[in-house]
Structure 1
Amino acid sequence: MATTPSNKMLPKPHLPPNLPSLVATAFSRSVATKTVNFYPTSVTLLTINSIPFQLRYSPSLASKPKPPSVTTPKLFFNPFASPTQEMLITPFGTSPPSHNLVLNKFAVVPEHFILSTSAFKPQTHLLEADDLAAAYACIDAYARHNKELFVFFNSGDHSGASQPHRHLQLLPVENMKEGLEGGWDVLAKGLTDPNTRGKLPFEVFARDIKGLGGDGEELRRVYLELYNQACEAVLGVAEDIKHEGEAQISYNLAMTNNTMAVVPRLTEGGVVKDKDGQEVGNLALNGTVLAGTALVRSEMEWNALREDPDQVNQVLGRIGVPNRAKM
């Protein structure tokens, strides 16, 4: 289903030029005052179909409160409705501000922060042009300081989403590499290469966005093309795919300076077993799977996956549509 670019031009969102240091200062202050819970991790590198895949273990994260289903928003405390001064990095966008940058309350990667809409908008609805323009403005603000950001979005019951208020998550790539000696980089950066996509056990759709200059309408045009492909992979049809309101599938989106990628999701994860075949946990994956990362909270899962990395590959094969290139 073809998409038609809009003729309207969105004003580009303005961000403080010192955004990386602004985020770093806010994070350090909030960790010191225990406003943000920072969970140190152990990390190892697995090789999945010749792709370096990062596995992190955070036992402290097991104590993080587990929210109810995202389909029952009234049961939620909404941290994005009126962010406190301790959590707020900066509001930005058009006037009045359309978005807020806030710290992630439960951080595994240092300086993990969040782009949320100022007014409540559903996480399960399709992203709008100003959401994508705002996310890319953050990426560009980091790039101006020779730094990289990985942006991801979880939407739907099988995506790893945990809050009903629309938000994208942002991770400084330099901090994602903490504890690693080398050999790993963000997976999404290479997903425009068919050879890289062909190594994955699930279907993923990607496009180069470098030449779009952060234009929100153009970014949304690409997003909808990728979303169409993802819907067709899940639903088997290309017609009647809606471009407004509720998304018709669960999916993750990732953005880097050069690439946008969408992976349709069918499940959140899969069972992990020890060497004796006993179930020891469940590996759950969100949009960071498009960075080439996974996180576990128990030592038994950590040990089982390091001893048998093929289990990660098996879970990856279950979370989405099987890759036709591998069939």
Structure 2
Amino acid sequence: MSPSLGVPSGLPHLVHDAFVRAKTAGDLSFFPTQVALLRVHGVPFQLRFAPALAKKPKAAKPAGDKDKSAQPPTPFNPFEDPPPGLMVIPDVCGGTHRLVLNKFAISQDHSILATTTFRPQAHVLEATDLAAAYTCIEAYADAGEELFVFFNSGSHSGASQPHRHLQLLPVAKMREGLEDGGSGWDVLVDRLIEGKSGEVPFYVAAARLSPGSTPSSLHTTYLDLYRQARAAAQGTSAVIATGDVDTTAEESGDVPASISYNLALTKETMAIIPRTAEGASVTSDGGSLSLNGTVLAGTALVKNEAEWDALKSDSSRLEEVLAQIGVPLTRRTAAL
């Protein structure tokens, strides 16, 4: 790795050591999760029970009718001035980003690439965002490890913070708890791009990345996939803008993205799923499953025991949720 990119060699060990220190000090919340492996149309999906995520604080709501004149509190921004105990690398890619640990980790060594100055999560990504993420992916690859990066954008995507950030999950840590070391599970987007058997019930725009991809080529690929996803989403609830979309302003980042979507990035693959819903009910009393960008890894996170039991006992419930969160394959405008 080039020193100018701000990512030192041995990045996996650096992140892991920081994670262990932060967990020991109580700076982050992480507990081992129960896991089951389900299959949807032949595609292996992890189902992980992570009750600690139910304790994750939500953004403040606007003032109610009793005090309409009151100004809603400014939402807490965890990336504006990250706690020292969560900091991993303060300066990535010339200072555009910083690498911090996720305070509410869904797996060991769960980290986040956040912009050092506020950039909107709801706007399209810039070349520097993708360069920072891919630099980390290559740093893990140099150490013989895989890294899965995902990005949530829009009201249906599972996004919870307005400050732009991408989330990083070491694939080896995502396999923990699975039988036979996780040999029966692969990262979904890599599986699809390789043409392995099975098909997901939602549209995905995906592309294979060339070795030595540059920031410019990564951004070109991203915009191409975003356009495919936007086209596939036309006429569905994935479209969140009203009126005609100024695609030039949108793609330059001057206005919010017109669709809700998740992005996934690995060393070999980039993929985007346009989202029409964050989740769907899985129990008779309204218990639901919400999905974010980890769905493109083939992972579903469950926060409550009732939903965990319902999904684990009947994999068709997971298939029904997956069929409702995106654009049905019958509407897709391009093949993988």
TM-score scaled by length of structure 1: 0.89
| Residue pair 2:262, 2:292 contacting (<8 A) in 1 also | yes
Alignment of 1:43 with 2:60, yes or no, is no
> Residue 316 of structure 1 is aligned with which of 319, 322, 329?
322
Report what 1:128 is aligned to.
126
The structure-2 alpha-carbon separation of the partners of 1:113 and 1:73, relative to structure 1 and needing over 3 Å to count, comes to: farther
Q: Are residues 1:269 and 2:279 paired?
A: yes
Equivalent position amino acid for 1:152 in 2 = F
Q: How many residues end up aligned between the 2 structures?
A: 308
Is the 1:39–1:106 contact (alpha carbons within 8 Å) kept by the matching residues of 2? no
Residue 235 of structure 1 is matched in structure 2 by 234
- Of 47, 57, 67, which residue of structure 2 is paired with 1:65? 57
Q: Which AA in structure 2 matches 1:320?
A: G
Corresponding residue of 1:300: 306
Q: CA deviation at 1:199?
A: 1.2
RMSD between aligned alpha carbons?
Answer: 2.3
The residue aligned with 1:185 is 186
Match of 2:223 in 1: 224
CA offsets, 1:161-211, max 9 Å, x none? Answer: 000000000000000000002301110112324665x71111000001133
Query: In 1, are the aligned partners of 2:265 and 2:271 still within 8 Å (CA)?
Result: yes
* Long gaps (5+) in structure 2: 63-70
1:259 matched to 2:269? The reply is yes
Distance 1:156 1:217, change over 3 A: same
> Secondary structure of the equivalent of 1:106?
coil
Q: Which amino acid aligns with 1:102?
A: V
Q: What do residues 39-66 of structure 1 show as CA deviations (whole Å, max 9, x unaligned)? A: 2210000011101100011223322222
Q: Which amino acid aligns with 2:189?
A: A
1:86-107 Cα deviation digits (max 9, x unpaired): 1110023344x11000000001
Give the TM-score of the pair, scaled to structure 2. 0.86
Classify the secondary structure of the residue corresponding to 2:85.
coil
Measured in 2, the distance between the counterparts of 1:92 and 1:206 equals: 30
Q: Aligned partners of 1:313 and 1:50: how far apart in 2?
A: 11
Q: Residues 12 and 133 of structure 1 are in contact (CA less than 8 Å); yes or no, is this contact kept in structure 2?
A: no
Q: 1:244 aligns with which of 229, 252, 262?
A: 252
Which residue is equivalent to 1:115? 113
Please say if residues 191 and 261 of structure 1, whose CA atoms lie closer than 8 Å, have aligned partners that are also in contact: no
Unaligned residue ranges in structure 1 (runs of 5+): 1-10
Following TM superposition, where does structure 1 have runs of at least 4 consecutive aligned residues deviating by more than 3 angstroms?
Answer: 193-196, 236-240
Per the alignment, residue 210 of structure 2 pairs with 210
CA contact (8 A) 1:151 1:254 kept: yes
Relative to structure 1, the CA distance from residue 77 to residue 200 in structure 2 (aligned partners, 3 Å threshold; closer, same or farther) is: same
Given candidates 162, 165, 168, the residue that maps to 1:164 is 162
What amino acid is the match of 1:18?
Answer: G
Counterpart in the other structure of 1:289? 295
- CA distance in structure 2 between the partners assigned to 1:82 and 1:103 by the alignment: 13
